Amino acid sequence: MAAPKKSVTKEAGQEKGNGSPPEFTREQELRALRDMLLIRRFEEKAGQLYGMGAIGGFCHLYIGQEAVVVGMQMTLKKGDQVITGYRDHGHMLACGMDPKGVMAELTGRRGGYSKGKGGSMHMFSVAEHFYGGHGIVGAQVSLGTGLAFANRYRENDFVSLAYFGDGAANQGQVYESFNMAELWKLPVVYIIENNRYAMGTSVTRSSAQTDFSKRGLSFNIPGQQVDGMDVRAVKAAGDEAVAWCRAGKGPYILEMQTYRYRGHSMSDPAKYRTREEVEKVRHDQDPIEQVRNRLLAGGVSEQDLKSIDGEVRDIINGAADFAQHDPEPDPSELYTDVYR
Amino acid sequence: MPIQVLMPALSPTMEKGNLAKWLKKEGELIKSGDVIAEIETDKATMEVEATDEGTLGKILIPEGTADVAVNTPIATILADGESASDLAKAASPAKQEKAAESAPPAAAKTEAPAPKAEEKTPAAPKAVSEPEPEVPAGTEMMTQTIREALRDAMAEEMRRDPDVFLIGEEVAEYQGAYKVSQGLLQEFGARRVIDTPITEHGFAGIGIGAAMAGLKPVVEFMTFNFAMQAMDQLINSAAKTLYMSGGQMGCSIVFRGPNGAAARVAAQHSQDYSSWYSHIPGLKVVAPFSAADYKGLLKAAIRDPNPVIFLENEVLYGHSGEVPKLDDYIVPIGKARVARKGQHVTIISWSNGMTYSLKAADELAKEGIEAEVVDLRTLRPMDTETIVASIQKTGRAVTVEEGWQQSGVGAEIAARIMEHAFDYLDAPVARVSGKDVPMPYAANLEKMALPSVAEVVEAAKAVCYR
Ligand SMILES: Cc1ncc(C[n+]2csc(CCOP(=O)(O)OP(=O)(O)O)c2C)c(N)n1
Ligand SMILES: [Mg+2]
């Protein structure tokens, strides 16, 4: 018998309209601020290093979307797994991976998480339960479902978070995974980071159903649309979804409505949207500014916030410094790690 | 100290760009995130955002300057309190130090009745290739990039045949992820230049279905790495249907896009699929090198009644070459080209492998070894005749490919030489290839993983016993 279902899609849209999400404690606000700042400053630095030629290939920045991973990470316990695509720097930092190791992977040095062999799009940390870092659009969705399969198989109560984009949401294997996940009640939260564009293609030009929370409807998977620019809303929806999965009720879909400020990758001229559109989101909805303003209104001093900013900048400068001075991999590494 | 703004690298393969326009004047205030200049790469015009705050001190490279190398200082920014007199001490950001690079250490019984004599398996028919059309003497040539040659080939075929259309990711409004389809949407409209969602398996199948119904799709894969999503349709549907239907129903369709390594995009985005497709009966596989061949072979591929896999190379897109100015310049599929004549050793390659091969031939000439360089251009059907004719002359062969050795195209060429020119060989065939590892990201390892001019030179000398 199927477990009783919360038929969420429709009501969730309305839920969202009804007032703001539950307040954060001051500790939560401060943690969210620090974690989001860490990602923002890291990405700004990565952009700079790319321009200098220290980072090569593709480099996809997460600036603007920070509230999504930071809010979701607040719902997890140690042992829950995370997997995503190539826009992965933010996810790794949120999982607690060392900015030095991430930045050194971007510059292709031996101290990087993949010893310099993977680069920006392919990084992993078994210790932090971060399973990548995948370059092929949509592949992580089946893989993330497989992580959940392993949890179910071992009868533990860990949950897998599979992040993917609005563009990836059109790949066939996503729906093959949805079907099996619900059929076998696998504990996976599908997090669709709807940043409105897949490269230069807007959601409305690629998707027949643009309400991504409904994408699991025909498989009976519940879904919610979430304001992905408000870290509290992310956390609240994430709590529900993770609890649903942990209770053995099967998968859950969260559509995070968010926005990327930068081009798709460093080589995207971004002619498919106006500067005004970007400026408006930045000005009205910036996830970091929202928290900062609430903290200031709540009596935290400008000075305190400055010192958080300073601490984060030091970490990032240290990471950039390490990543530029760490040596390249030893040539003997060319033939290692093909088999074990 | 004033900060230097450097010419940024804006794509994996960019080495230089044009400084199109300054959007800020000397003395103007700049905030981090402000657009300060526009830079043209060969793909697009990009905006450069300031990452530092201050006043634009001095513009070092005026607008309109072409071919500015990446990392050249283009302007200085003065921090609060600094003035023009501080400009002299502008600091350049730390130079990338290069780590030392060195080569790495391197018989069952069956119940089935025996076939009767008259049922002997017949010999496979020889592929007959059309003779290369002579470009009439005095034909005017024009210099074009390979990117432009491809675009012109598609545009000409679309003008000629209303059943030809282009479908793929970002081909229309974005003008192509690598700007190959620039202008096609404007000329042919959204009915014939079609953006798809990111659904390779689905749109490849839709293309094949449309071709079964008689249309002539050109399906662009953003890169061939993503065509693996569609592999089943390419092999099981496109390649085999004609045979399975006893010749009733096939599909005239082209699958095209960049194949092979670009630069620093790592294992999942840098793979040479030449040997994969070359394995499959029912497919034709084309992988040109020169601009003229890109144009003439793509036109031939679009007209071909069979499924054609057209392997391009991102690194070559910006390269220019001479293309005959003819109304209808077609290069036949299945015909190799001797790109350089020589009598001591034959180097056989295709696509970007030709870059290493031709440079190696120059090097070898300096040492008195005249290499004949054969550009296969088509991998299936393979032009064995041209290869054999060259071996009969030189007695020695080196194959060059970016792909891996095992079951690679070089292995196939070596086998054919053994079968058809064994008696002419003075040395075993040598293979230069990508190393037997997934493509690493780190700059030093990536360089080692790819074939090099030095390796081709070394292999050529080895087969010449020099
Ligand atoms: C199978 C496959 N097809 C195409 C690509 C090229 N590509 C990389 S990212 C991307 C857009 C993906 O957009 P979306 O899923 O919305 O994620 P976002 O980049 O917005 O985070 C495309 C087309 C790829 N990497 N893999
Ligand atoms: Mg997107």
DSSP readout, A165-208?
Answer: ETTGGGSHHHHHHHHHHHHTT--EEEEEEE-SEETTEEHHHH-S
The enclosing H or E element of A240 equals helix A231-246
Probe site for chain B from A309, A334, A340 (most B CB atoms < 10 A):
A334
Q: Which ligand is nearest to the CA of A165?
A: 1
Instruction: Flag whether pLDDT at B102 surpasses 80.
Output: no
Q: pLDDT band for position A5 (50/70/90)?
A: very low
pLDDT for B105 equals: 44
Instruction: Flag whether pLDDT at A4 surpasses 50.
Output: no
Q: Is the pTM of this model over 0.90?
A: no
Determine the average pLDDT of the residues in A132-142: 96
Q: pLDDT band for position A6 (50/70/90)?
A: very low
pLDDT for B88 equals: 62
Is B200 annotated in the active site? yes
How many other β-carbons are positioned within 10 Å of the β-carbon of residue B16? 14
pLDDT for B94 equals: 41
Maximum CA extent, chain A: 60
Determine the average pLDDT of the residues in A258-265: 96
Instruction: Report the range out of B33-42, B59-68, B152-161 with the highest average pLDDT.
Output: B152-161
Q: pLDDT band for position B10 (50/70/90)?
A: confident
Q: What is the per-residue pLDDT across B415-439, written as a single tens digit (0 to 9) for each?
A: 999 999 999 999 999 999 999 999 9
Alpha carbons within 13 A on the beta-carbon side of B354: 24
Across the interface, which of B10, B70, B440 has its CB nearest the CB of A266? B10
Within 8 A of A209 by CB-CB distance, chain B residues are: none
The answer, for B389 touching chain A at a CB cutoff of 8 Å, is no
Cβ contact B71–A53 (<8 Å): yes
Within 8 A of B229 by CB-CB distance, chain A residues are: 136, 138, 171
**Pairwise pLDDT comparison (B330 vs A266), residue with the higher score:** B330
Instruction: Flag whether pLDDT at A320 surpasses 90.
Output: yes
How many other β-carbons are positioned within 10 Å of the β-carbon of residue B102? 10
Q: pLDDT band for position B112 (50/70/90)?
A: low
Cα–Cα distance measured from residue A218 to residue A213, given in angstroms and rounded to the nearest whole number: 12
Phi, psi (degrees; rounded to nearest 5) at B233: -65, -40
Question: B133, B330 in Cβ contact below 8 A?
Answer: yes
Secondary structure tally for chain B: helices H, strands E: 12, 22
Instruction: Look up the ipTM and state it.
Output: 0.87
Is B119 annotated in the active site? no
In whole numbers, what is the pLDDT of chain B averaged over residues? 91
Q: pLDDT band for position B100 (50/70/90)?
A: very low
Range from A224-228, B28-32, B370-374 carrying the lowest mean pLDDT? B28-32
Structure tokens given for B344? 């001591």
The catalytically annotated residue of B157, B169, B200, B455 is: B200
DSSP readout, B174-221?
Answer: T--TTSTTTTHHHHH-TTTEEE--S-HHHHHHHHHHHHHTT-EEEEEP
Question: A259, A62 in Cβ contact below 8 A?
Answer: no
